[in-house]
């Protein structure tokens, strides 16, 4: 088989024998990991999947039936811009880094490794969901997300192998050794160690946790380390579909709940096998808060260093901003001081995690508004809400304190006493789990979720997206 068949790429892999050998050695280990930790029970089935085949805006993807182990995981970077420059920070205006600058090597490795680790982690988290799919359409979307997270791992492993020498090779191997949720060798970030074992979890995960990925990738797509920027720019093209799966997935559950409420005496969705809004709300609270942690501490010297070095910018740094130095600016944020909430002004560069988190929160609010519109359309009076960004945090300023849903400081005892109202209970999870029965007849859908508005890529919902 030709190299380009085995590892599709636009990085002239055949012109770099050392790299080619390294990736060809990594390939069988990756496939072994995929067979062991990838989607359980469907490896031999034909799935109608999108495969990245180039980086042309028109026609970058090819749709066809493919068995997942035969998916052509490839390495694609957005084409290089002529005369690319570092876009921000202390070296703004200097030629973009084509190799890893020695003084930033550790920082960059850490950035790449942390991002890379999330990709296989999510595949592991989602590996058993196929067995309880609500429809063939959803089953296909799950697998689409899974194979593309696999491709994202390839994209990041390419960077590790090509630019980080021996350390990079070791890090690439470690990607296949850690396991989501395993206490002895966990994945790096906590959201990626949380179980994702029912479809409401899956939709919340792709809505809230993949959306963190969008913002991290967008910040890295601005990077002065050009190979990283170009890699992330192309990953974002695929990521949009993952967010679509999450946002419309939760939206369809929400709509169905409202429909079932209207049909049920006393507006009790549970009565007709739906997922009540209070359960959905608790799932939202859970995934939103864990995903906020992924942005890092509110006040962060790492964020300042990454910006100063030109490694990690703001969301749409070049498009949205004209001032790219941030030497004099400051940012006022809320902190806990002497047992109460107060405002503190910090240098802007130190607050960039919080700035990125703010972009993310606004994006989430937009989705919540849309879901609430669905509820109103069905004639039900109810509003879903996002909790305060201080609620249920495990990283940053608020991690060592307790807050209620609205962000008021409370005691640990009070939090524990009210926890079951805010976060999914065992009973919630068991109830949702009890609804999860596979529906695999083309055109049919589980009772707890509404069908999608349209199918994929011009195909109808009834299309046989997975041949079982």
Q: Which residues bind Fe ion (CB under 5 A)?
A: 119, 149, 152, 210, 239, 242
What is the rounded distance in angstroms from the CA atom of residue 201 to the CA atom of residue 246? 10
Is residue 13 within 8 A of residue 19, CB to CB? The reply is yes
What is the rounded distance in angstroms from the CA atom of residue 376 to the CA atom of residue 258? 8
Alpha helices by DSSP H, 351-465: 352-377, 412-422, 426-435
**Burial group, residue 44, by CB count within 10 angstroms (0-12, 13-18, 19+):** exposed
Supply 112's token pair.
């790449």
Is residue 323 within 8 A of residue 348, CB to CB? The reply is no
Enumerate long-range contacts of 151-155, CB under 8 Å, 24 or more apart: 151/52, 151/71, 151/73, 151/74, 151/238, 152/116, 152/119, 152/235, 152/238, 153/30, 153/116, 153/119, 153/120, 154/7, 154/30, 154/73, 154/74, 154/75, 155/75, 155/76, 155/77, 155/231, 155/234, 155/235
What is the rounded distance in angstroms from the CA atom of residue 391 to the CA atom of residue 407? 6
Supply 314's token pair.
């703001």
Identity of the residue, 76 or 398, whose beta carbon is nearer to Fe ion in the bound complex: 76
Is residue 213 within 8 A of residue 69, CB to CB? The reply is no
Is residue 411 within 8 A of residue 402, CB to CB? The reply is yes
The least distance separating Fe ion from the CB of residue 380, rounded to whole angstroms, comes to 31
Closest by Cα among 52, 95, 100 to 76: 52
The least distance separating Fe ion from the CB of residue 219, rounded to whole angstroms, comes to 14
| Helix/strand/coil for 56 | coil
Q: At what angle do helices 226-263 and 277-293 cross, to 10 degrees?
A: 170
Q: How many CA atoms lie less than 13 Å away from 302 in the CB half-sphere?
A: 12
The least distance separating Fe ion from the CB of residue 257, rounded to whole angstroms, comes to 26
Supply 182's token pair.
């395993």
The least distance separating Fe ion from the CB of residue 246, rounded to whole angstroms, comes to 9
What is the rounded distance in angstroms from the CA atom of residue 57 to the CA atom of residue 60? 6
The least distance separating Fe ion from the CB of residue 138, rounded to whole angstroms, comes to 16
Question: In 53-105, at which residue ranges do the beta strands (DSSP E only) sit?
Answer: 61-67
């Amino acid at each position: 088989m030709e190299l380009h068949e085995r590892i599709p790429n636009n990085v002239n892999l055949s012109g770099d024998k050392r790299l080619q050998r390294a990736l060809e050695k990594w390939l069988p280990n990756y496939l072994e990991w995929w067979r062991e930790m990838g989607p359980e029970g469907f490896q031999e089935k034909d799935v109608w999947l999108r495969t990245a085949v180039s980086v042309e805006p028109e026609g970058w993807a090819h749709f066809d039936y493919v068995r997942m182990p035969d998916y052509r995981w490839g390495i694609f970077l957005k084409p290089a811009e002529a005369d690319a420059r570092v876009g921000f920070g202390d070296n703004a205006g200097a030629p973009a880094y084509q190799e890893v600058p020695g003084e930033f090597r550790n920082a960059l490795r850490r950035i790449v490794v942390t991002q890379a680790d999330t990709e296989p982690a999510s595949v592991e988290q989602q590996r058993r969901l196929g067995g309880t799919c609500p429809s063939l359409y959803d089953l296909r979307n799950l697998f689409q997300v899974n194979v593309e997270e696999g491709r994202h791992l390839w994209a990041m492993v390419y960077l590790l192998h090509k630019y980080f020498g021996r350390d990079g090779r070791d890090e690439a191997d470690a990607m296949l050794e850690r396991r989501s949720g395993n206490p002895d060798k966990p994945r790096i970030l906590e959201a990626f160690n949380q179980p994702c074992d029912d479809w409401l979890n899956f939709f919340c995960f792709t809505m809230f946790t993949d959306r963190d990925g969008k913002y991290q990738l967008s910040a890295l797509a601005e990077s002065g380390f050009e190979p990283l920027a170009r890699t992330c720019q192309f990953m974002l093209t695929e990521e949009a579909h993952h967010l679509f799966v999450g946002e419309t997935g939760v939206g369809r559950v929400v709509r169905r709940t409202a429909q079932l409420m209207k049909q049920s005496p006393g507006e009790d969705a549970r009565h007709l096998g739906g997922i009540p809004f209070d359960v959905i709300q608790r799932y939202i609270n859970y995934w939103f808060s864990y995903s906020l942690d992924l942005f890092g501490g509110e006040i962060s010297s790492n964020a300042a260093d990454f910006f100063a070095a030109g490694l990690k910018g703001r969301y749409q740094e070049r498009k949205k901003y004209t001032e790219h130095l941030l030497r004099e600016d400051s940012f006022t944020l809320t902190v806990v001081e002497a047992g109460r909430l107060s405002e503190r002004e910090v240098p802007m560069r130190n607050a960039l995690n919080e700035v990125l988190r703010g972009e993310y929160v606004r994006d989430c609010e937009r989705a919540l508004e849309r879901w609430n519109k669905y509820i109103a359309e069905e004639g039900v009076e109810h509003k879903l809400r996002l909790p305060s960004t201080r609620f249920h945090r495990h990283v940053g300023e608020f991690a060592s304190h307790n807050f209620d849903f609205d962000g008021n400081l409370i005691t640990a005892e009070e939090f524990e006493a009210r926890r079951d109202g805010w976060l999914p209970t065992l009973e919630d999870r068991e109830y949702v789990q009890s609804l999860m029965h596979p529906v695999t007849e083309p055109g049919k859908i589980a009772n707890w979720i509404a069908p999608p508005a349209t199918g994929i890529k011009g195909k109808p919902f009834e299309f046989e997206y997975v041949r079982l």
